[in-house]
Amino acid sequence: MDISGIFNIDKPAGYTSFQVVSLVRRLSGVRRVGHAGTLDPSATGVLVVCLGQATRLSEYVMEATKVYRAEVHLGITTDTLDATGKPLSQADPSNISRQQVEDALTAFVGEIDQVPPMFSALKHGGEPLYRYARAQRQVERQARRVTIYRLQFLAFQLPLATIEVECGKGTYIRALAHDLGQQLGCGAHLAALARLRVGPFTLDDACSLPELEAAFQEGCWQSLLHPADAALPSWLAVTLSEAQERAVRFGQCLAADSLELSPAQAVENDQLCRAYSPQGQLVAIVRYDADALLWRPAKVFAAAERAQEA
């Protein structure tokens, strides 16, 4: 039986994302399992784990907006930029006021340049940066453009400042904490991190690892699976005719005017759209080619795409 779907898991501290994926693979017996966005071992919160054909949608989940709650420890910098690292410098943050932190945060809203941490999985010369860091070798890193949509100041009790961050793909909250400390002139590191949301998947709706393991023991684990298309609720969606479904499954393109979109659903070049069978199953992700006036299949799924009922 082809099992496909998405788990929204509340990852506890102390687990790597890979360990959670390995646990799901072992318990489910499904070979194709992957996560859609790594969480550091010390971080907690939403970890989206895809099974079966849903793994083919993980790239779209990773592009989704994310929300984090972060505790920033003012006055101490570390080599990893978080609480797991070795302290590098220490300063007295007692003269930092709440207003100063709020004012400093405004500089980080919008599109900003951010230098990735040395302790990260980004590649340099074919090797992840953390290997250079562990060998105490510094590598020059280019700043990357990232987007922070919202920064909300939640609490302030020296030396901790708690913030909520809504951001785009590729944003390092550790780097944000470090840069905030530099902006304040006292240094800082990330003391704790919880991921509250990844796209449509929220912490309130996530299942804990004990809940997940219990569901496997009781044989009802598939009830915790979200259908693969739950990752894409805001996308355009169309229902294909049987003839169109056959064509798409063979990789054929569809004329733009053959899909029934409402006048309000204006499309742009390269826009992606969910395409469903007459029975409501996800058939494909199609991409709009404005020059050719065609919808081209980007990803085509097997017939039993949606999560099975337990």
Which token pair is 114?
Answer: 């951010």
Give dist(CA 271, CA 218) in Å, integer: 42
Judge residue 251's burial from the number of C-beta atoms within 10 Å of its C-beta, 0-12 exposed, 13-18 middle, 19 or more buried.
exposed
From the list 276, 281, 279, the residue with the least C-alpha distance to 260 is 276
Q: Is 1 helix (H, G, I), strand (E, B) or coil?
A: coil
Please report, as a single letter, which amino acid is at residue 217: Q
Residue 306 is predicted with a pLDDT of 40
Residues 2, 56: contact at Cβ < 8 Å? no
Residue whose tokens read 């070979």: 31
Structure token digits, residue 32 = 């194709």
User: CA 131, CA 121: separation in Å to the nearest integer?
Assistant: 9
Tokens of 137: 């070798």
Residue 121: CB atoms within 10 Å: 10
User: So what's the pLDDT on residue 126?
Assistant: 66
**CATH 3.30.2350.10: does it fit domain 66-198?**
yes
Q: Is the peptide bond before 297 cis (omega within 30 degrees of 0)?
A: no
Distances (CA, A) of 120 to 2, 11, 123, 194: 35, 19, 9, 18
- Whether 171 and 201 have beta carbons less than 8 Å apart is answered as no
Do residues 143 and 36 lie in contact, with contact meaning Cβ atoms separated by under 8 Å? no
For residues 152 and 155, give the distance between their C-alpha atoms in angstroms, rounded to a whole number.
9
Topology of the domain comprising 5-64+200-230: Pseudouridine synthase (3.30.2350)
Asked if 121 and 18 touch (Cβ cutoff 8 Å), the reply is no
| Amino acid code (one letter) for 196 | L
pLDDT per residue of the chain (310 residues) written in tens, 0 to 9 = 578 999 999 999 999 999 999 999 999 999 999 999 889 999 999 999 999 999 999 999 999 999 999 999 999 999 999 999 999 999 999 999 999 999 999 999 999 999 887 666 666 666 666 666 566 677 777 788 999 999 999 999 999 999 999 999 999 999 999 999 999 999 999 999 999 999 999 999 999 999 999 999 999 999 999 999 999 998 999 999 999 999 999 999 999 888 877 555 668 888 999 999 999 999 999 999 989 999 999 999 987 534 433 3
pTM: 0.89
> Domain limits of the chain?
5-64+200-230, 66-198, 235-300
Question: Are 5-64+200-230 and 235-300 in the same CATH fold?
Answer: no
The verdict on whether 79 is a catalytic residue reads no
Pairwise CA distance, residues 229 & 269, whole Å: 22
| Nearest one of 249, 222, 226 to 1, comparing CA atoms | 222
CATH 3.40.50.300 fits 235-300, yes or no: no
**Residue 221 near residue 308, CB atoms below 8 Å:** no
Q: State residue 267's pLDDT score.
A: 81
Eight-class DSSP state of 226: B
Among residues 48, 63, 58, which one has the least CA distance to residue 201? Answer: 48
Q: What is the DSSP letter of 118?
A: S
Catalytic residue, from 10, 40, 82, 229: name it: 40
Q: Which residue type, as a one-letter code, is found at position 115? A: V
